């Protein structure tokens, strides 16, 4: 399961690489749609500040 961490800056870099449109920004948070997410880890690796984590 992909989880945004507290130090996420809500910049949206992850959204631009998500192939299944499973990420969304609200005013102050990043939301992951776990139904859509395939855990490809593209977002985890592209994040400029490593603020996404893959949790078992």
Binding site for another protein (CB under 8 A): 9, 11-13, 15-19, 21, 24-27, 42, 44-50, 52-53
> In a 3-state reduction of DSSP, which class is residue 45?
helix
Give least dist CB 2 to another protein, A.
11
> Which residues, in sequence order, are bridge partners of residue 2?
54
CB 36 within 8 A of CB 20: yes
Pairing relationship of beta strands 23-25 and 2-4 according to DSSP bridges: unpaired
Give least dist CB 42 to another protein, A.
6
Give least dist CB 11 to another protein, A.
4
């Amino acid at each position: 399961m992909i989880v945004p961490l507290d130090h996420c800056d809500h910049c949206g870099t992850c959204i631009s690489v998500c192939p299944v449109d499973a990420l969304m920004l609200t005013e102050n948070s990043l939301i992951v749609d776990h139904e859509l997410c395939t855990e490809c880890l593209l977002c985890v690796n592209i994040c400029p500040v490593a603020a996404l984590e893959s949790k078992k």
